[in-house]
Amino acid sequence: MKKNLNQKLINLIEYYNLINSNMLLSNSPIKRTYATEIKNVKGSKLERLNKLKQSITLIKNCDLKKNAKNLVFGDGNINAKIMIIGEGPGAQEDSEGKPFVGRAGKLLDKMLSAIQLDRTKVYISNVVNFRPPSNRKPTESEIERYFPFLCNHIEIIDPKILLLLGSTALNAVIGNQVVISKARGKWIEKNIGFSKPWIIASFHPAFLMRQPEQKKLAWIDLKMIRKKLDNLKI
């Protein structure tokens, strides 16, 4: 218990140092409420992203960081109106330091192309920024540790549409009470700090490679995104 409390204190200090914010954490690992007041985060979007990246680089006492080769921060257009959040880096991503560059990334590129998008029109990141060993799912404590960084990442990009790929991204942002099979294909209203994106969840490309019969549902989700883009005229 003492170790857990000390770790929570470390997490809280890291977040205060990052954005000089007030943060309220519940005892539940993923069901959190944040009250952010980003008063002193100045500079351009690129400068703020660089500060965030540096803060993640300096994270301490993190097993994910210890076992990873590279920090995998983000990729794409920082001014994009669509932000995509995946689970965590795989082996290829860990090697190259970029998200979604392996087999799942190639499928993601095809999915985006199907609705007239590519990496120059989206911004991509993950729930955790270092590769979990053996490509396992991040633990609840790991998700909790990186969630403040993810929140700040979303706030800085400030997308109009936030696409959550897979159950890990969905549960990290929305909460454990929802499952991907029931939440996908629906627009979700939720503020993330000062960012107020339209949120939609869909299956992770890695899951679609294992369960190709689910691609028809993912295609429905993609068409919903295309329609929303057209309606918003962005």
Which residue matches tokens 């985060």?
41
Distance CA 141, CA 159 (A): 26
CATH of the domain at 128: 3.40.470.10
User: How many other CB atoms sit within 10 Å of the CB of residue 37?
Assistant: 12
Supply the pLDDT for residue 214: 98
Give tens-digit pLDDT for 187-221.
998 999 999 999 999 999 999 999 999 999 999 99
Asked if residue 11 belongs to a domain, the reply is: no
Distance CA 135, CA 143 (A): 15
Supply the pLDDT for residue 23: 33
Asked if residue 89 belongs to a domain, the reply is: yes
Asked if residue 8 belongs to a domain, the reply is: no
Give tens-digit pLDDT for 6-65.
555 555 445 445 544 333 233 333 333 333 333 344 579 999 999 999 999 999 999 999
Which comes out higher in pLDDT, residue 1 or 186? 186
User: How many other CB atoms sit within 10 Å of the CB of residue 99?
Assistant: 27
Give tens-digit pLDDT for 149-158.
999 999 999 9
Q: How many domains does the chain have?
A: 1
Asked if residue 94 belongs to a domain, the reply is: yes
Reduced 3-state DSSP string for 152-189: HHHHHHCCCEEEEECHHHHHHHCCCCCCHHHHCCCEEE
Asked if residue 46 belongs to a domain, the reply is: no
Burial class for 6, CB neighbours closer than 10 Å (0-12, 13-18, 19+):
exposed
In the chain, the percentage of residues whose pLDDT exceeds 70 is 82
Asked if residue 19 belongs to a domain, the reply is: no
Asked if residue 219 belongs to a domain, the reply is: yes
Supply the pLDDT for residue 234: 84
Supply the pLDDT for residue 96: 97
Count helices and strands (H / E) in the chain.
10, 6
Structural domain harbouring 213: 62-232
Give tens-digit pLDDT for 124-168.
999 999 999 999 999 999 999 999 999 999 999 999 999 999 999
Asked if residue 25 belongs to a domain, the reply is: no
